[in-house]
């Protein structure tokens, strides 16, 4: 019987003992966690699979780049795999738990320094553990005229981890990887690489010029296991003189096609500059503390008749569009006329302004997200069915009405077939739509948990048949999604992995990448 609750794959207890001793010499005993009670917060939370499949063998709390370099060298000696987290709050995509049982978690949340913020160039450089709330507080306390962009719920997540997973936000700077500028990365052999202009000694353009010289490397470190990002630069939006959020409500589910056709030209032309959200009834109701048990107690999918009743009771649309205008008073006035003229011409959709909505939810938290104020309002989603099960299904489509309607109908049919609800929203990129669906289930109910797992598998299968792949997925399904992108891409990723990390110590299996 091992003294450890889990051992890393293919690592003997004797070798793991030796590795733990060396980790302790590097970090100190209080930063090396191996007992079950200390590992509990790092367990799998919301995915519909056995917790044991994603159990960690130990947790290491590093505070410096030099410590990470030393840890990587120990891992190479004993072939110990490590799974890196920044804040570890990526709940719907797998939380802090490793992709494979037995991996050692390298927790970087104590590396939480805001290294530099330049209010003139509108740039920032941060460590992995910096949260959006921390950065927001820094900007407010120092009265800097800057605006953040983040996902929701945002306060406890951080810019480095979100960008490395290619997350999106709700402001004009909502495509976060596009706004990233300069990384510092510890490579699998322990060397430190700075991307872009960062490799040039004395250069001051690391956070302002993305490309540097030669191949651009930043992208290969996102959604991968080729290095450990220890610093990241990114661009911040200057706070505009005028911020004008608004909502447009549409009554019928079938309106989705017209909505997308109406918004796409405005978004591509930057009349509406931010990442517009088109949220369904249940998404908005759940974030405002509406529970399924308020309306029905029988199992299965929620009938359309009940959705209509919720719509009426909570003053929601079947689709609720949130967008904002930013700029000088003159700019906002001109663009507001263009937007309202388009809506009038369409002949459908109710416009709700901030003056109309006041402090009512969900308008209030949506406006906060679009103006760079972090909040945790969307945690309400997890109370819709109760039991806290959640897996994000995120297929990408073209920004065409017909494509979005097809995806919505396909997702709803599959979810309802498994007795679950369609709780979804579309986030409008420049030419794409992130279709984000929260597969909610009661994880205290084994039968419903099994159904949720089967449902997620079917969503992946049926969407792939229609040519729709997901851009991001929880750790339980990363190998499955990697298969959908084909053998050529996988072979190239494996070639890079073998060249950079011949012992396969950095997060083997992440995004389906192995040696």
Closest CA to 510 of 471, 470, 469, 482: 482
- Catalytic-labelled residue, pool 138, 295, 471, 485: 471
CB 112 within 8 A of CB 68: no
Please provide residue 448's backbone torsions phi and psi, each rounded to the nearest 5 degrees.
-70, -35
- Catalytic-labelled residue, pool 101, 109, 194, 472: 472
- Catalytic-labelled residue, pool 93, 326, 365, 422: 93
Closest CA to 511 of 468, 480, 466: 480
346 vs 348: CA distance, rounded Å: 6
Q: Which residues contact 274 (CB under 8 A, 6 or more apart)?
A: 170, 171, 172, 174, 323, 324, 326, 370
Angle value at C-alpha 169, between 165 and 175, nearest 5 degrees: 65
Asked if 471 is an active-site residue, the reply is yes
Burial (Cβ within 10 Å: 0-12, 13-18, ≥19) of residue 415: buried
Please provide residue 317's backbone torsions phi and psi, each rounded to the nearest 5 degrees.
-95, 170
- What Rg value do the Cα atoms of the chain yield, rounded? 23
Please provide residue 167's backbone torsions phi and psi, each rounded to the nearest 5 degrees.
-75, 165
Asked if 89 is an active-site residue, the reply is no
Neighbours of 63 (CB within 10 A): 18
Asked if 136 is an active-site residue, the reply is no
Please provide residue 422's backbone torsions phi and psi, each rounded to the nearest 5 degrees.
-80, 110
Residue with tokens 């992946």: 460
Residue with tokens 């909570």: 314
296 vs 291: CA distance, rounded Å: 9
Please provide residue 468's backbone torsions phi and psi, each rounded to the nearest 5 degrees.
-110, 120
Q: Which residues contact 280 (CB under 8 A, 6 or more apart)?
A: 253, 318, 319, 320, 422, 423, 424, 425
Active-site annotation, residues: 93, 471-472
């Amino acid at each position: 019987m091992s003294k450890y609750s889990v051992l890393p794959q293919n690592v003997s207890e004797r070798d793991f003992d030796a590795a733990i001793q060396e980790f302790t010499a590097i970090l100190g005993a209080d930063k090396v966690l191996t007992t079950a009670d200390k590992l509990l917060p790092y367990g799998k939370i919301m995915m519909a699979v056995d917790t044991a499949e994603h159990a960690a063998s130990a947790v290491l709390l590093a505070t410096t780049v030099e410590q990470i370099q030393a840890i990587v060298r120990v891992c190479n000696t004993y072939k110990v795999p490590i799974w890196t987290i920044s804040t570890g709050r990526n709940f719907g995509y797998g939380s802090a738990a490793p992709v494979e049982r037995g991996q050692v978690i390298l927790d970087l949340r104590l590396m939480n320094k805001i290294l530099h913020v330049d209010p003139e160039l509108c740039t920032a450089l941060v460590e992995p553990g910096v949260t959006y709330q921390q950065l927001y507080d820094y900007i407010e306390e120092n009265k800097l005229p800057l605006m953040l962009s983040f996902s929701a719920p945002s306060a406890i997540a951080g810019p480095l981890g979100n960008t490395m997973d290619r997350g999106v936000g709700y402001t004009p700077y909502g495509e976060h990887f596009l706004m990233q500028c300069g990384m510092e990365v510890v490579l699998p052999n322990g060397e430190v690489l700075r991307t872009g202009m960062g490799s040039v000694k004395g250069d001051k353009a690391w956070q302002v010029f993305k490309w540097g010289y030669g191949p651009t490397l930043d992208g290969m470190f996102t959604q991968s296991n080729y290095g450990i990002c220890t610093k990241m630069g990114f661009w911040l939006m200057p706070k505009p003189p005028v911020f004008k959020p608004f909502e447009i409500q549409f009554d019928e589910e079938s309106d989705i096609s017209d909505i997308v056709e109406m918004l796409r030209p405005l978004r591509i032309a930057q009349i509406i500059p931010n990442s517009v959200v088109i949220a369904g009834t249940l998404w908005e109701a759940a974030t405002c503390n509406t529970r399924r048990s308020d309306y029905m107690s029988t199992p299965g999918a929620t009938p359309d008749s009940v959705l209509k009743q919720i719509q009426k009771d909570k003053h929601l649309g079947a689709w609720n569009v949130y967008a904002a205008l930013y700029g000088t008073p003159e700019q906002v006035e001109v663009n507001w006329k263009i937007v309202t003229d388009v809506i009038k011409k369409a002949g459908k959709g109710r416009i709700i302004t901030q003056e109309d909505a006041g402090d009512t939810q969900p308008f209030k938290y949506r406006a906060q997200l679009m103006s760079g104020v972090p909040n945790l309002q969307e945690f309400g989603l997890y109370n819709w069915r109760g039991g806290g099960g959640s897996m994000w299904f995120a297929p990408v489509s073209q920004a065409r009405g017909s494509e979005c309607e097809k995806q919505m109908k396909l997702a709803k049919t599959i979810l309802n077939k498994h007795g679950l609800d369609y709780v979804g929203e579309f986030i409008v990129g420049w030419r794409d739509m992130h279709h984000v669906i929260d597969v909610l289930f009661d994880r205290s109910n084994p039968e419903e948990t099994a159904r949720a797992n089967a449902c997620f598998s079917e969503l992946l299968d049926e969407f792939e048949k229609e040519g729709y792949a997901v851009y991001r997925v929880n750790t339980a399904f990363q190998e499955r999604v990697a298969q959908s992108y084909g053998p050529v891409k996988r072979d190239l990723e494996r070639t890079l992995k073998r060249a950079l990390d011949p012992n396969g110590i950095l997060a083997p299996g992440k995004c389906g990448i192995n040696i």
